[in-house]
Structure 1
């Protein structure tokens, strides 16, 4: 190994082990592990994925609001085709239905069915239990308030940069 290669290897090792890389990795790993726990509990106990719950949250948040598939795709950061497949599966399961938009027949609106609202309530309770156990309980009340405050500031900074 020549001096240039050794220098690049040392520099790469320092960069890979930097506190910024380590801390951001901790955030991503924690969020990913929590999401997997939520998804696993929802699939086991409710027969739905975490992404399906996210759709139902969006649809149930403001009853009577017209929500298009395009809005769902944007809100959930899914591709258009991914959203179509997801809504297809949810429609087959009886959780949602597509209805034509009164203002534009080319636009499909998505709304929860009565069965979907009932399933949402059960899934929301499972979600809350897992989040409480792994996101809230490990922290003191002060640490939780600081964490959520900091995450809110990060989110605002990212939205303002868009």
Structure 2
């Protein structure tokens, strides 16, 4: 049995449940959260290292380019981008300044509302994203499709979408 499976077995063992005063379900939930954090961290670290070391792009820059290029009309309000990146508006502004200086993105004010600024990918940014995407996709295939069955991938996507939607709805 692998170390991870051993840890899971220990986490929900009857002796451990009785000694802690927590139910078996409580221990399963603790284990589930731990597995989610560990898997997410492992995937993020692997993808970040590949982007940085093999492609030569900062993972944060790649995420901005990817999110902007996949958004409706190829742009997002700066506030929306901050929300998607889960960083402060100040952090987003500093990141955008660097990416704008590199010619990868541009910020344009809204013509309808002076308070709104949009972020969008430039042609140079699209070319940089296209250059990185093949390596990124190879990495994702290796991470997911070589380790999980099609059914497991579908279950994982369904479960993560439901969790994300429920949590963002709170």
TM-score by length of 2: 0.76
Aligned pairs for 1:36-47 (under 5 A) are 36-47=45-56
Partners of 1:85 and 1:127 in 2: CA distance = 25
Flag the 1:88–1:111 CA change in 2: closer, same or farther, 3 A. Answer: same
Which blocks of at least 5 consecutive residues in structure 2 are unaligned?
A: 1-18
Moved more, 93-102 or 61-70: 61-70
TM-score by length of 1: 0.80
CA distances 1:71-94 after superposition (whole Å, capped 9, x unpaired): 211222211111011111111222
Match of 2:89 in 1: 80
Residue 114 of structure 2: which of 102, 105, 112 is its match? 105
C-alpha displacement of 1:116: 0.1
Residue 36 of structure 2: which of 23, 27, 33 is its match? 27
Higher relative contact order (CA 8 A, sep 6+): 1
Partners of 2:122 and 2:91 in 1: CA distance = 21
Match of 1:5 in 2: none
Partners of 1:130 and 1:156 in 2: CA distance = 26
Flag the 1:66–1:132 CA change in 2: closer, same or farther, 3 A. Answer: closer
Helix, strand or coil at the partner of 2:57: coil
CA root-mean-square deviation: 2.5
C-alpha displacement of 1:62: 4.3
C-alpha displacement of 1:64: 3.5
Partners of 1:158 and 1:71 in 2: CA distance = 17
Q: Is the 8 A contact 1:57 1:120 kept in 2?
A: yes
Partners of 2:90 and 2:56 in 1: CA distance = 22
Matched positions, count: 151
C-alpha displacement of 1:156: 2.8
C-alpha displacement of 1:122: 1.8
